Amino acid sequence: MRIEQATIKDIAQELNISISTVSRALKDYPRISSNTKKKVKEVAERLNYRPNAVALSLRKSRSFTIGVIIPDVVHFFFSTVISGIEEVASSRGYNVILTQTNERFEREKSNINTMLGNQIDGFMISFSKETKDFEHFTKLLDRNYPIVFFDRVPDIENAVNVVVDDYQGAYDATTHLISQGYKKIIHLAGPKNLKICFERERGYRDALSAHGITIDESLILECPLGVPEESKKIVYDLFQELEIKPDAVFANNDMVAVGAMMACRELGFQIPKDIGIVGFSNWQICSILEPSLTSVYQPGFDIGVKATEILLDLIENKTSIDQIASPIVLKTELMIRNSSKRLF
Amino acid sequence: MRIEQATIKDIAQELNISISTVSRALKDYPRISSNTKKKVKEVAERLNYRPNAVALSLRKSRSFTIGVIIPDVVHFFFSTVISGIEEVASSRGYNVILTQTNERFEREKSNINTMLGNQIDGFMISFSKETKDFEHFTKLLDRNYPIVFFDRVPDIENAVNVVVDDYQGAYDATTHLISQGYKKIIHLAGPKNLKICFERERGYRDALSAHGITIDESLILECPLGVPEESKKIVYDLFQELEIKPDAVFANNDMVAVGAMMACRELGFQIPKDIGIVGFSNWQICSILEPSLTSVYQPGFDIGVKATEILLDLIENKTSIDQIASPIVLKTELMIRNSSKRLF
DNA sequence: CAAAATAATGCAAACGTTTGAATAGCCCTA
DNA sequence: TAGGGCTATTCAAACGTTTGCATTATTTTG
């Protein structure tokens, strides 16, 4: 039914030589006469020969494939990371197997297992929101299996982590709001078990303190789902409740910031005149919104690139875990737009 | 260095039986005594045995892996499709290898080639904007290689195509604008060699004709890049130029629609009062924009699901190409929002 | 011209499985 | 007690490569 791919054997048969000669001819071994090489390559070309990567994998116990495990493909940030991963991997001759966990712990474990069966050369992981236990990672790390974590990284020894400077990004964002004259700044936080969220909150807190503003815990609100509807309601309710209204929002991500914008609009507040808003991630939408949304740019593509480069270097033994200063922290950049520009 | 995975051989050695017995015991062959089965499974468990998928692939000439080739991961629509693909594939025990072409013809070809080497069981392809020649597809199809095309599909015999009803979506969108009293409707088109764009334009044209509006070719403008900046300029220039201003825009995608919105805003037109705008794709941003953007919903996830189901059925010989009524057309849905609601 | 040196090729094992065919026990029967 | 019929197990080939070692063919050397 399905037509067979030509193999090295077919070439050998056709030329009446041994398969080892063919193999060597194709790889330009010096010991093979240039005449044979020429003939072999001709036939290979003619039969449209492609080496069977599976056989190669088996022989070499290397698959030239890396496994990527992320919570959700449909997420601007992650898709930019994937793009970076794919770029580096393919340029260095590696394939990328992709699975998403949909934020489920069980799927994370089972995905890792099937990939292990597939003789993956290494993993790139950003773990799920449900993941609190890291044993499935440590078991692999103990066996010297190459893993690079990115964005959502675990707090375990010997893990190579590539992250964005969430703390500094949040610090800069908050400082920017303060410098624009905003004083009572809400923080819409994420789940604290995610380090990234924790760090963003810490940046917010430190920025306030550094500018002599006392931290009001009631202004720190958790938005666990991270969707606009949720944060809209939270902000709306808070404003109804408080007598002295806040004058700014620093949101843990752009979607949450958008919800805050919606709430403000419905409450009749002007952005940025009455309320300043800053998001996090710098999605495409930021520049499209009205007013455009100030946000902290996370270099997703670069994270993918950097993390993959390290992983491949580990796989190819060009470096070792103890030579890597983990975490690798990539710079964020505050993209100032209209939602927070009160002074000119 | 790296610790070895246990193999069937290790189990055999430990129990002093042959590897074939182990293999059969693990698969519950009836001829194996339940005693041996029990012992084998125990040892397998203890050694944390996982079958080597690579060896299996080689033996069976099947890799249980499908290759996905898309232009760009960082694209809301494609990422939803991927999500659907991943979902079905993983539930049916398949891996997904992902590559992007970045809209390059050469990368499309080379990606296909490396995947072929990896003994991929089948392909899911949405081709690049540069692709005009389909020989690299037909060569595979002639060899009975399972391929399912989605979204950007080629016009070749025997291809299985899964698409969205672009024509109907565009027709509905245009009809909606007409029903809201808009008369002079611009169409911001995409590159015509992409069937989807052609179909959208056709839907636009037919809707106008069906409502007795003569088509004004000067109102059909191509936006090849499909980014807001481009369409903004195009719309802005057109409005400057024309004496009798258009009163609506039907854009070939949401980003292009956003550009049109920006242009209108700068020109001082009110949306939807002066100008109605409809986009295509129904990205997340649509409901967030101010005014919210009417758009044609494309079921990306469902496309991924449907396309993958067909591909796997083809791979597993549960169906054959001539049993499939290609193209499979999935319904779109017009999501009416404020950008086009002039009547109440 | 025999032996040594060199060049070119071939053999066979290995990677981890599956699987058709062969074999080893064992009990039963005539 | 030879053979038949089971059951449980083993052998060995195959999937497509790579690669250390052996072999053959060719040339050089004394």
Is there a single domain that holds both residue B101 and residue B147? Answer: yes
Number of domains in chain B: 3
DSSP string, A85-120: HHHHHHHTT-EEEEEE-TT-HHHHHHHHHHHHHTT-
- How close A212 gets to chain B, by Cα (Å)? 35
Give the ranges where chain A is alpha helix by DSSP (H).
8-15, 19-26, 34-47, 53-60, 76-91, 105-117, 135-142, 166-179, 195-210, 228-241, 254-267, 300-315
- Is B309 inside a domain boundary? yes
| A-interface mutation test, from B66, B266, B284, most A Cβ less than 10 A away | B284
Q: What's chain A's average pLDDT? A: 94
Domain of A34 in residue numbering reads as: 8-51
Neighbours of B242 (CB within 10 A): 13
Q: Is B255 in the same domain as B306?
A: no
Phi, psi of A39 (to 5 degrees): -60, -45
Whether residue A181 is found in the same domain as residue A146: no
B-chain residue closest to A255, CA distance: B288
Contact B117/A at CB under 8 A: yes
Distance CA A190, CA A226 (A): 7
Whether the beta carbon of B210 falls within 7 A of nucleic chain C: the reply is no
On whether both A173 and A284 belong to a single domain, the answer is: yes
Give a yes or no: residue A58 inside a domain. no
Q: Please list every residue in chain A whose beta carbon sits closer than 8 Å to the beta carbon of residue B140.
A: none
A63 in contact with chain B, both atoms CB, cutoff 8 A: yes
Two tokens, residue A5: 């791919």
Q: Which amino acid is at B289?
A: L
Output the six-digit token pair for B114.
């490396």
Same domain for B180 and B148: no
Q: Are A276 and A339 in contact (CB under 8 A)?
A: yes
**Quick check: A50 and A11 in contact, CB under 8 A?**
no
Does B13 reside within a domain?
yes
What is the per-residue pLDDT for B1? Answer: 46
* pLDDT tens digits for range A115-148: 999 999 999 999 998 999 999 999 999 988 999 9
Give the contacts of B302 (CB within 8 A, at least 6 positions apart): B84, B330
Q: Locate B94 and state its tokens.
A: 């398949």
What are the distances in angstroms from CA B71 to CA A98, A279, A330, B152, B218? 16, 29, 27, 10, 30
Q: Quote the radius of gyration of chain B (alpha carbons, Å).
A: 26
CATH number, domain with residue A37: 1.10.260.40
Asked if A78 and A149 sit in the same domain, the reply is yes
- Residue B56 in any domain: the answer is no
Residue B49, by phi and psi: left (phi above 0), alpha (psi -120 to 50) or beta? Answer: beta
User: Are B95 and A74 inside 8 Å of each other by CB?
Assistant: no
| Sites in chain B below the pLDDT cut of 50 | 1
Q: How confident is the model at residue A241 (pLDDT cuts 50, 70, 90)?
A: very high
Give how far the C-alpha of residue A202 lies from the chain's centroid of Cα atoms, to the nearest Å.
21
Residues B322 and B233 in one domain: no
Which residues, at least 6 apart from B155, have a Cβ–Cβ distance to it below 8 Å?
Answer: B195
Rounded to 5 degrees, φ, ψ at A127 are: -85, 170
In angstroms, the first-to-last Cα distance of chain B is: 72
Residue corresponding to tokens 């790390």: A141
Quick: pLDDT tens for A150-166.
999 999 988 999 999 99
The answer as to whether A2 is a domain residue is no
Same domain, B68 and B149: yes
Does nucleic acid strand D have an atom less than 7 angstroms from the CB of A7?
Answer: yes
Domain CATH code at residue B86: 3.40.50.2300
B234 falls within a domain: yes
> What share of residues in chain A are helix, strand, coil (percent, to 5)?
45, 15, 40
DSSP state of B220: E
Beta bridge partners of B251: B188
Q: What pLDDT is recorded for position A191? A: 87
Residue A155 shares a structural domain with residue A171: no
In a domain, B2, yes or no: no
Q: Which of residues 110-129 of B touch strand C (CB under 7 A)?
A: none
Residues A174 and A242 in one domain: yes
Tens of pLDDT, residue by residue over A52-86, are: 999 999 999 999 999 999 999 998 899 999 999 99
Q: How far apart (Å, rounded) are the C-alpha atoms in residues B183 and B57?
A: 60
Which chain A residues contact residue B90 at CB under 8 A?
99, 111, 114
Q: Are residues A114 and A198 in the same domain?
A: no
pLDDT at position A2, please? Answer: 60
Please report, rounded to whole angstroms, the spatial distance between the CA atom of protein residue A17 and the C1' atom of nucleotide C23. 37
Q: What is the pLDDT of residue A1?
A: 46
Strand C contacts in A 194-213 (CB under 7 A): none
Neighbouring C-beta atoms of residue B25, cutoff 10 Å: 27
Look at residues A300, A270, A236 and name the one whose alpha carbon lies nearest to residue A79: A300
Where do the DSSP E strands lie in chain B? Answer: 65-70, 95-100, 122-125, 147-150, 160-164, 185-189, 220-222, 248-251, 276-281, 294-297, 328-330, 333-335
A83 contacts B117? CB cut-off 8 A = no
Say whether both A316 and A283 belong to one domain: no
Q: Residue range A16-40: average pLDDT?
A: 94
Does A57 map to a domain?
no
